[in-house]
Amino acid sequence: MRTFTGILAIATLFAVAQAQTFGVVDYERIINEVQLTQESLRELQTLQQRYQQAFQSLQESLILTDEERQELANLLLQPNLNDQQKKRVDELKNTARQRADELQSLRQKANPTETEKAALERFTQMEARSREALQLLGQQWGQELNQQAETRRAQVQKRIREVIAQVAKEKKVQVVFSTEAVLYCENDLTDEVIKRLNAAKK
């Protein structure tokens, strides 16, 4: 038995159809087939890989000061480094590696000198601070990636809606429904919308 709300919705749709020219689009198909979506996904994947590689490099370079760690993080997130920047990345990684080796050696000493004890304490604190900082940084970068994904999704949806509106106006269509809401319609704009969107990317 149909509910009153369902009957009202059908009646409203019928009234609109009688008064105006309408068409439909398969929005899910558009999302899946347009190059705009694929391009956006590739950009996100590239960005995600950059964040993951940067985070892994930082995990392997724990024995750094706060300033050194921040500098390395900023460099690692840049898409294209020049020779000087690459050299600086290598310097920071080497510094962290040398300190890690020294820390391991100091931990194995049975009777360290006062100077060695001070170095052991300093490097141990660096390691601890780096682990805490990386935990926070991982959360921050995760939020940034989610924000980037949401921004790109909104941009893609906005562009698709703009092209749907353009095609509809050209075809004198006043109302466009999703194919999910309409069982049958001869005036399907989906192919033209996909064609228009993909042509704009060539």
Q: Name the residue range of residue 131's domain.
A: 19-200
Q: Is residue 14 part of a domain?
A: no
* The pLDDT of residue 50 is above 70: yes
pLDDT, average across residues 61-87: 95
Instruction: Say if 194 falls within a structural domain.
Output: yes
131 occurs within a structural domain: yes
Q: Is residue 12 part of a domain?
A: no
Query: pLDDT (tens digit, 9 = 90+) per residue, 88-139?
Result: 999 999 999 999 999 999 999 889 899 999 999 999 999 999 999 999 999 9
* Domain count across the chain: 1
For residue 83, give Cα distances in angstroms to 67, 69, 70, 80, 94.
Answer: 21, 20, 19, 10, 16
Q: What is the reported pLDDT for 3?
A: 64
Q: With 90 as the cut, is the pLDDT of residue 8 above it? A: no
Q: Is pLDDT at 9 greater than 60 in this prediction?
A: no
123 close to 99: Cβ distance less than 8 angstroms: yes
Give the separation between CA 139 and CA 59, rounded to whole angstroms: 14
Residue 196 lies in a domain: yes
Q: Is residue 10 part of a domain?
A: no
Give the CA-trace dihedral at 46, 49, 54, 60, to 10 degrees: -160
Q: Is residue 7 part of a domain?
A: no
In a domain, 13, yes or no: no
- Looking at per-residue pLDDT, the higher value among 187 and 53 belongs to 53
Return the structure tokens found at 180. 């999910």
**Where does the pLDDT of residue 19 fall: very low under 50, low under 70, confident under 90, or very high at 90 and above?**
very low
Predicted pLDDT of residue 5? 64
CA distance 194 to 167: 10
